[in-house]
Homo-oligomer: A and B are copies of this chain.
Amino acid sequence: MSIYLCGELDAAERQAWLQALRAAMPGERIEASLERLDPAEVDIALVANPPPGSLQGLPALRLVQSLWAGVDRLLADPTLPAGVPLARMVDPAMSAAMAETALWAVLALQRGFFAYARQQAAGRWQALPQRRSDEMQVAVLGLGEMGCAVAARLAAQGYRVRGWRQGGSRSAERAAPVPASEGPDALVPLLAGSDIVVNLLPLTPRTMGLFDARTLAAMKPGAALVNLARGAHVVEADLLAALASGQLLQAVLDVFQTEPLPPGHPFWAHPQVTVLPHAAAQTDPRSAAAVAAANVRALRAGQALAHRVDRERGY
């Protein structure tokens, strides 16, 4: 049997992945092209946003292991084989990278470093009031691997962190590292008391467009939104209106409705928007290959797979 690496990777990325995956699974045949494989022999697909239809015509397929953490694009492919288990990438190195990005954004918001950058551009010298970390209330939405890593890291720096999860979410089974609330009714009071809101929810039909005019209006006046999850969580026109009215002071955005962010999009030149190119937590082949290899070994040994996607819930 053999393994098919498939997805939106440029030549250098494909080489890095093949090298890392082959090193992590020396006994396996792994190729990035079906021309080098017998499709009837492919029982595992390792995927990184594969183009729709990529996984058709693989009759022996028994596992689709995503190399990316988010699987919303994968699940949107109607040709995805229905009966085959899917697994997400859950890599502690990736969670650590996400926690670093969140911490950088929260430090910058607490201490005024985005404002100082605007002042530098204007040639203005003005120290701003200095807030302590224990004066900042931070909400972390989503308490999966990423959300918990972020919440724990922020709490360790002295921030007052509260978590939130959807009602009936997958993460409800695990203990959160910070005080947490659950369900739609708990969201508005949490937002109203938070200086910074960090979004790490999965993108599902229930969370799509969560940050619309109504939700943004429920936030504390002058608060900041840090979106590290998916662009479709945010109604971009509503966010622009909330920034224009002063309801929100700053948005730090790693993800967008359309990626790459199109030329001329108002976010690019907006003084209160920080644009990151979907780089808050990139999968690192060096560590992620070992995570994928563990699931490959589990499948081969007939053991339980880790990080299986619940297709009903969408993550």
Contact = CB atoms under 8 A, between A and B. Distances in A.
B112 A279 contact: yes
B100 A107 contact: yes
Of residues A93, A156, A277, which shows the largest number of chain B Cβ atoms within 10 Å of its Cβ? A277
A259 B268 CA distance: 32
Given A100-B133, A132-B96, A132-B284, A275 B120 contact: yes
A72 to B, nearest CB: 19
Nearest to A127: B279
Contacts of A158: 96
A259 B97 CA distance: 36
Interface in A80-122: 93, 96-97, 100-101, 103-104, 107-108, 110-113, 116-117, 119-120
Chain A interface size, under 10 / 10 to 19 / 20 to 34 / 35 or more: 35 or more
Given A130-B279, A277-B116, A101 B111 contact: yes
Contact of A261 (B96, B125, B133): B125
Given A100-B111, A104-B104, A127-B282, 9 more contacts: A96-B158, A97-B111, A100-B107, A100-B110, A120-B275, A123-B269, A125-B261, A127-B277, A156-B156
Top 3 A-B pairs, shortest CB-CB distance: A125-B260, A127-B279, A104-B107
